[in-house]
Amino acid sequence: MSVSELSKKFLHVIEERVGPFDRPFQLRVFPFDAGGALNFLTVGTGRSDPFVTYVSWDLSGHEQQKHGSLGRYELLAICDAKEWCLDVLTKIGRQTLQEVFEPGDTLDIGQWVSPGSPMQGIMFEEALRGELRHFLRRERCGLLRCIGITRPELEFAMRYGTAVLVERLKQAGNYPRTIICRRQTMDRDPEKGAPD
């Protein structure tokens, strides 16, 4: 089985997990390998709900992708701003060819967005972990969820860990989505109680 066949098999597993992908698939004319944006499969386009699930599909089969605990992986985000999401996830995708991102990591994206943008960081979380048969061995594969976070949330996660931040985001009703124009979820340290 080729890497391409493995990627197709993996995308089928992802579709079973996140829901049926929107049809028809929208392919970028300028490919990721040649400097273009990532291709994305979506779930929820055209619904009244502003949130769409975006799943990359150029990374798990890319020979240069750095593999961590998830093995080969794709990126996932649930977001209410298509262009922001596609731009940021494409930049993260380029970084996966040079470094490993793991669940629980954070990424400062301040240099990629305007200073006034509420979302200044990304928190990574495991959305799916599995194994596929590749030739005579099993190969790990996964889906890495990318959640946009504010500058104070990024600093909070770096100080207290992403697990504590996830609980705060859940309490505020912001988890697991990226809401581009939203308020902060915390105004206090964990020792001082719940956010305002």
pLDDT tens figures, 99-113: 999 999 999 999 999
Spatial distance between the Cα atoms of 32 and 38, rounded to a whole number of angstroms: 5
Residue 188 · residue 195 · CB < 8 Å: yes
Which among 44, 41, 85 has a CA at the least distance from the CA of 60?
41
pTM, two decimals, is 0.88
Task: Name the helix (H) or strand (E) containing 77.
Answer: strand 72-79
DSSP letter at 104 equals T
Spatial distance between the Cα atoms of 142 and 159, rounded to a whole number of angstroms: 27
| pLDDT, mean of residues 130-143 | 80
Residue 185 · residue 168 · CB < 8 Å: yes
Residue 184 has pLDDT above 90, yes or no: no
Distances (CA, A) of 138 to 14, 91, 100, 186, 193: 17, 29, 20, 42, 46
The burial class, CB within 10 Å (0-12 / 13-18 / 19+), for 23 is exposed
Digit-coded pLDDT (tens) for 5-51: 666 777 788 888 888 899 877 778 888 988 899 999 999 998 889 99
